[in-house]
Every structure is written in structure tokens, then in C-alpha cells.
Amino acid sequence: MKKTAIWAVLALAPLLAACSPSAPAPAPSESATSENSPMETTSDAAPSSDAAADASGLKASCQKFNELAAKLRTMSYPDSSGYMNLYTESQTAAESAPAETKKALTAIGILALDYTKSDTLPQEDKDRMTQEWQAISAPCSSAGVTAEL
């Protein structure tokens, strides 16, 4: 029963990611503004500030991933309340995380839930965590953070 609930959370994670408000707004068409328009200068500045905000959000999210992974490594079974706190913290972080790290943060939470039941993790959850770590390694590296598992 609990394993079904875990997979339900994993199945819903992509849907939540699709609903995130982090999608960029469409760029204005070139025909709508002239080349010498002052608005064009303003619109040129906005994407770079958005890009900087996205990069800092990614960097913070990668750092949060490393922090949660370190906490998970230092915990020991049967610290159920500690694992539940880690689960809650990872889900809260995943809610506001950029798309690149959302699944990895969710996966840490799933591992924490697994540890509330047993000190032996299911292989499929270990494999999923490894896949998510591999998926965030490049984006985190580009943000200046080495993702650690």
C-alpha cells in the first residue's frame, strides 16, 4: 500500500512540473516593435535578468539537493521522524525548484520515505535516484555546483 502511494507521488511529479510558473513568456514579435524603439532596449534587458534569476534559482536548488543528500547520508535507520522531516523538506524544495532539479529533489524525498520502513532500499528507488542525479549533474555544473549523491 505504501509503495503504491510512493509511485503515485512519482507519477504526479511530471504533472506538477508541467504546471510550474517558470515557463518563459513568449518574446514579442519583431514586427510589433521598430528597431529604434526604446521598448526594444527594455525587452533586451529583461531576458538577461530573467536568465540571471533562473541561474541563481538553479544554483540554489542544486545546493539544496547537496544539502538534502548529505542529511540523508548522515541519518540512520530507524529515525522515522528525521526521515519524515527530510521528506517534507525535499518536497517543499521541489515545489519551488526549477524543472532541472525538481525530480531529483522529489527522489530524495522518496528515499527518505523508504527509510521510514526499512534500512534496505528497493533497487528501483536506488536506480531512480542515480538517474535523477545523473540528469542534474550537467545543469548543476553549469550553475557552478557539483551535484553530490
Could you tell me the three cell numbers for 124?
A: 528501483
Q: Is the pLDDT of residue 43 over 50?
A: no
User: What's the rounded mean pLDDT across residues 75-79?
Assistant: 84
Cα dihedral 51→94→12→138 (10° resolution): 50
Give the residue from 83, 133, 134, 136 showing the smallest Cα distance to 110: 83
| Portion of the chain with pLDDT greater than 90, in percent | 50
User: What are the DSSP calls for 79-147, one per residue?
Assistant: -HHHHHHHHHHHHHHHHHS-HHHHHHHHHHHHHHHHHHH-SS--HHHHHHHHHHHHHHHHHHHHTT---
Instruction: Grade residue 54 by pLDDT with cuts at 50, 70 and 90.
Output: low
Instruction: Grade residue 52 by pLDDT with cuts at 50, 70 and 90.
Output: low
Per residue in 101-117, pLDDT tens? Answer: 999 999 999 999 998 88
Predicted TM-score (pTM) of this structure:
0.63
